Chains A and B, each alone.
Chain A
Amino acid sequence: MNRKEQLEAEVSKTLELLDRIPQVEASARFRAQLMQRIDSVEPASRSGITASAAFSPKVALLALLLMLNIASGMLLFMNEAPQSAASVSGTLAESFSEDYGSPALSYYDDQSALGR
């Protein structure tokens, strides 16, 4: 048997190990442990759901953002609400007089009216 054949024989012998793997039966301990673990996981997960719903940081952040949003909206609305039409027109008139009352624009003034 040459070296290559020898190598191939070793390889196939090694791969044959996989065909010889026996069937494994679940032991009695396995079933008992599994039932115990499932029983212990179930109540924990149930209480975990309620606790996570109550204290979830995501939910808390969302609620905080919503509250901030509502509060800032209300503040803006409350500041704008008292402004009546009269006060708005007053502000506009004041702004106009400031803009056009400067000395640079004084040639617009009616000089004849001043002499009267």
Chain B
Amino acid sequence: MVINTCYRFVFNREDAEDIAQEVFIEVNRSLEKFREESKLSTWIYRIAVTKSLDHLRRQKRKKRFSSLKRMIGIDDPAESLPAPDRDNPADVLVGNERADKLRNALDSLPDNQKTAFLLSKYDGYGNQEIADILQTTVPAVESLIHRAKKNLQTRLEKEFRSEQ
């Protein structure tokens, strides 16, 4: 479930596995600090969400930095590395134009809206568990999901409109 949670954020199996490994290492390292204020699973999923969001932030920074380098004419050897394996059946969202639009729209959402929306799309989480992970209330989660849907719709409509 940890890998699947991470996968819903990063849409890439390899990245999701890497993040999940970091999550388990973190859990192993700070198990003593766990104060039993929440369920162990909730604590682990909270770490998974935080690590996934950190990964997305790093990716965004990297993207910004590489576009800046491209602007000033410096080639990054890392960019010439082969692209991720798109034949992987799990990566249905890789190399798909529609999926790219969805990813961009999700990237534009604030972290709490993105988290609430993505976790709600995964069968394993109910609103109560999402509220526990985000350390908020169920009505707040419902509101976050509602706002996320609205923002995604607006953003995607804009994307498709500009295409036409």
Chain A contacts to B: CB under 8 angstroms: 3, 7-8, 10-11, 13-15, 17-27, 30, 33-34, 37-38, 41-42, 45
User: Would you give 29 A-B contacts (Cβ < 8 Å), ordered by A?
Assistant: A7-B160, A8-B157, A10-B156, A10-B160, A11-B152, A11-B160, A14-B98, A14-B156, A15-B156, A17-B92, A17-B96, A17-B99, A18-B102, A18-B118, A21-B8, A22-B92, A24-B16, A24-B90, A25-B3, A26-B3, A26-B17, A30-B21, A33-B21, A34-B21, A37-B21, A37-B25, A38-B25, A41-B25, A41-B28
Min distance, Cβ B3 to any Cβ of chain A, angstroms? 5
Cβ < 8 Å to A, chain B residues 88-118: 89-90, 92-93, 96, 98-99, 101-102, 105, 118
19 new A-B contacts, CB < 8 A, other than A14-B156, A22-B90, A45-B29, are A8-B157, A11-B157, A15-B149, A15-B152, A15-B156, A17-B93, A17-B98, A20-B92, A21-B92, A24-B3, A24-B4, A24-B13, A24-B16, A26-B3, A37-B21, A37-B25, A41-B25, A41-B28, A42-B28
**A-B pairs, 8 with minimum CB distance:** A11-B156, A18-B121, A10-B160, A24-B7, A30-B17, A34-B21, A14-B102, A14-B98
A29 closest partner in B (C-beta): B17
Q: Is B8's CB under 8 angstroms from A17's CB? A: no
Provide the residues of chain B in CB contact with A25, threshold 8 Å.
3
Interface size class of B (residues with CB under 8 A): 20 to 34
- Residues of A contacting B: mostly: helix
Q: Which residues of A contact B160 (CB under 8 A)?
A: 7, 10-11
**List of A residues within 8 angstroms of B121 by Cβ:** 18-19, 21
Among A24, A37, A45, max chain B CB count under 10 A is at A24
Instruction: Answer whether residue B20 sits at the interface, using C-beta atoms and an 8 A cutoff.
Output: yes
Contact of B161 with A by CB under 8 A: yes
Chain A residue at minimal CB-CB distance from B26: A41
Bound form: Cα–Cα A113–B96 in Å: 119
Q: Tell me the residues in window 49-102 of chain B with beta carbons closer than 8 Å to chain A beta carbons.
A: 89-90, 92-93, 96, 98-99, 101-102
Question: Is B24 an interface residue when CB atoms closer than 8 A count as contact?
Answer: yes
Quick check: is B143 within 8 A (CB to CB) of the other chain?
no
Contacts A22-B89, A26-B3, A27-B17; is A34 near B24 (CB within 8 Å)?
A: yes
Instruction: Pick from B20, B156, B161: contact of A30, CB below 8 A.
Output: B20
Min CB–CB distance B157 → chain A (angstroms): 5
Question: Within the assembled complex, what's the spacing in Å between the Cα atoms of A19 and B8?
Answer: 10
